[in-house]
Amino acid sequence: MRLALRFVLPLVILLSLIAYGVVPLVDSLTFKWVVRDMDMRTKLIASTMQESLIVALANPINNRIQNIFNRAIQDERLYAVGFCDEQNSMSYKTQTFPEEISCMRSLAHSDTTTRIIKLPQGPIHLAFSPIESDGKKIGQLILVHDLSFAQRRSSDTKKYILYFFSALFFLVSLLTVLIAQLSLRGWMKGIRSLLRDKQLNSRQNKKVSPEIRPLENDLHRFILDLETDRRYRDEGQMSWTQWTLKDILHSELKGGEVLTVSNREPYIHVKQGKGIDIQYPASGLVTALEPVMRVCSGTWIAHGSGSADKESVDENDHIQVPPDDPTYQVRRVWLSKEEEDGYYYGFANEGIWALCHIAHVRPIFRSQDWAQYVRVNEKFANAVVEEAKTSDPIVLVQDYHFALLPKMIRQRLPRATIITFWHIPFPNPEIFGVCPWREEIIDGLLGSDILGFHTNFHCHNFLDSVTRFMEARIDKETSTISYQGNLTIVNNYPISLEYPVKWLNGQKPIQQCREHIRQAHGLPVDLLVGVGIDRLDYTKGILERFRAIERLLELEPQWVGKFTFIQVAAISRVFIDQYQHFGAEVRALKDQINHRFGHAGYEPIRLITEHQSPMHVYEYYRGADLCFVSSLHDGMNLVAKEFVAARDDEKGVLILSQFTGASRELLEALIINPYNIDQCAAALKLALEMPLEQQRKRMRSMRSFLQEFNVYRWAGRMLLDASKIRYRTRLYGDAKCKGAVIEPRLPL
């Protein structure tokens, strides 16, 4: 029935609209046709009566004229006849002649031969025909036709049109539903054939219809995913856990060595007075990757940027982490100020970051920055080689800072399994083509065995860029690229969080978090609080967020004094002019809104730019009534997932930008366009007024999703694909493995 309604309802609407337009059109055309018929009819009658009328007027005896008129109105449509003489008086008329019609009225419109007049008894058609004798006008004949039959004809026409469209609707609907049912049966038959066939990846399967063929690979990959999940659930696990990941490492990868490379390190040592403090960076990459490394052990190679980092490492630049329970080691790579300025602040962030994020900030590319970018990538490649204890380690290269690193590692460790994950959006070819070194970046990335993105959309953008700028063989059906003897698989792996999050251990209950947050900011206990957790970055939509709060208070002044938004914005990339200007804009807009709507003891927006530890961040998540994520462009955005993971009370509302990868997964959030300020304000109002039961339903669904699609699944999927590559390498040797194809999976 639902399938039938899906096809029939649009037909009902379409045919109703057509009928709505056709009926008045046909009615108008019918009436015009009747009037034209009356015009022709009156001319004929007047011409016929003229000669007899002239003779009768010359000798008006024995009621001859009256008899002529009475015989004329025996026609069922000719209602009345009258004659006006030269003195403008009604000389003769039939008894049926309307009193409303007079010679004065007819002569006043003598320039009009016919007219339509609506009388109380109905519409009539008037025709005025001059009577001439020997070239001299002797009077005017008035013919009155009854048009009530036209109304009946119009009513019949509408009825017939209604019957016609009803029959048409019935026949078309019947035919449409019949075709839909037959098509659905054909599709279901083809899919069942695929499910029954053990050789799903056989391109020569004759049982599969041509319409189903494009789905064959997707269905095949989906079944493989289900079989993998079932395997671990059969062992008593309800979802992916750290033990699942450990099992993959030992059973599928035979305990292979794991090396991770990223610019940002998971733990930063900074000088605090006479001591050393450990900070956890505000980074989604670290948030996701750190629990994976705790499971995989191995070595994390990163830039040592802390003021006390050098004092904390051993003679080989290593330090065991986590500090409380070491399970893996960090190898710190040291960069000079020139290298950091050119590689990190220059090319990576003023260039690639701005290029890949559609936030309307112009990217800046300098040749000296590019030279430092190449030099630093080479330095990290050397570090990977130094840390590798085997000839075939598994190397996890993270993000846009190291686009050249995969090829450099491939040249030094040809048997290594290289997995590169690009954490930010990848632009389309037109935008990516702006980069002066676009070919070199793609060339470097294609040194990977597996290249991962958050969404399938970004995978397609990369494939399109390779098509545009490189000489490579691309198979879009399997999402693989063959380039210079190396095969790269391009897949989407949506990143996530560990579940449950370790920072919830030791957290205060929700009610205490609420009270502590309000007490810390001097807010009333019953005040509703929203929270935003971001780096002070122009891609995060903080200005748009503040304008939405301002718009809410404009449209809904009852929230003034009852709602405060706390924005935690860690200062980032302070040496880049764009970030300095952006920080000043954020502060100025905050002050403007607070000045406009604030009063003694109340500020609509509180801005915190000091670094906050994860424990404090999760306290804000648990103590807030809503979380507002308004990114202008984001690969995934883990803040949204962190807020959901923190709410074990199943309360709170998530407002989420449609331009984040997370919006494709957390569908129960209030999805907004951050550029539409009125829509954002409406979402804030809806979030503040949302009943608790609806909050629970939404939050429960999102938390269930995070539990299943957690970071261990993200890492496990990549490692499972890596295990297939390593298996084929051992089975067929390096030369044959170059052409092996790993089927890409469906988007998770």
Q: Can you tell me whether residue 404 is helix, strand or coil? A: coil
Query: What integer pLDDT is reported at residue 230 of this predicted model?
Result: 59
Q: Can you tell me whether residue 732 is helix, strand or coil? A: helix
Query: Could you please report the per-residue DSSP string of 75-105?
Result: SSSEEEEEEEETTS-EEEE-TTS-TT--HHH
Nearest CA-CA partner of 401 in 352, 448, 364, 434: 352
Q: 438-445 and 405-412 helices cross at what angle (nearest 10)?
A: 50
- Greatest CA span in the chain, whole angstroms? 142
Q: Which helix (H) or strand (E) holds 552?
A: helix 542-555
Query: What integer pLDDT is reported at residue 201 of this predicted model?
Result: 46
The per-residue pLDDT for range 675-694, each reduced to its tens digit, is 999 999 999 999 999 999 99
**What's the DSSP call for residue 423?**
-
CATH class of 508-709: alpha beta
Distance CA 733, CA 543 (A): 55
Residue with tokens 């309360």: 651
Which segments in the chain show pLDDT lower than 70? Answer: 1-7, 62, 76, 104-112, 184, 186-187, 190-238, 732-748
Sorted by where each begins, the domain ranges of the chain are: 2-153, 248-333+377-497+728-737, 508-709
Query: What integer pLDDT is reported at residue 628 of this predicted model?
Result: 98
Distance CA 31, CA 188 (A): 54
Triad 663, 666, 672: Cα angle to 5°: 45
Residues ≥6 apart with Cβ < 8 Å to 50: 129, 131, 141
Query: What integer pLDDT is reported at residue 740 of this predicted model?
Result: 47
Q: Can you tell me whether residue 414 is helix, strand or coil? A: coil
Query: What integer pLDDT is reported at residue 198 of this predicted model?
Result: 45
Distance CA 177, CA 169 (A): 12
And the tokens for 317?
């630049």
**Could you tell me if residue 573 is left (phi over 0), alpha (psi between -120 and 50 degrees) or otherwise beta?**
left
Cite the beta strand spans of 356-404 per DSSP E.
Answer: 394-398
Distance CA 204, CA 493 (A): 30
And the tokens for 260?
């991770």
630: exposed, middle or buried (Cβ count in 10 Å: 0-12, 13-18, 19+): buried
**What's the DSSP call for residue 498?**
-
Distance CA 36, CA 49 (A): 20
Q: For residue 491, give the amino acid letter.
A: N
And the tokens for 677?
């300020």
According to CATH, the topology of domain 248-333+377-497+728-737 is Rossmann fold (3.40.50)
510 neighbors 649 (Cβ within 8 angstroms): yes
Q: Which residues of 639-654 are buried (b: 16+ CB within 10 A; e: fewer)?
A: bbbbbbbbbeebebbb
Query: CATH topology of 248-333+377-497+728-737 equal to that of 508-709?
Result: yes
Q: Kindly report the number of other CB atoms within 10 A of residue 486's CB atom.
A: 18
Tell me: cis bond preceding 500? Omega within 30 of 0 counts. Answer: yes
Nearest CA-CA partner of 653 in 634, 628, 678, 672: 628
What ranges in 197-307 are assigned the alpha helix state H? 213-233, 242-247, 284-296
Distance CA 382, CA 390 (A): 15
Query: What integer pLDDT is reported at residue 440 of this predicted model?
Result: 97
Kindly calculate the radius of gyration of the chain based on its CA atoms and give it in whole angstroms.
Answer: 41
Residues ≥6 apart with Cβ < 8 Å to 370: 347, 436, 437
Q: Kindly report the number of other CB atoms within 10 A of residue 252's CB atom.
A: 16
Q: Which helix (H) or strand (E) holds 133?
A: strand 122-133
CATH code of the domain occupying 2-153:
3.30.450.20
Query: What integer pLDDT is reported at residue 496 of this predicted model?
Result: 93
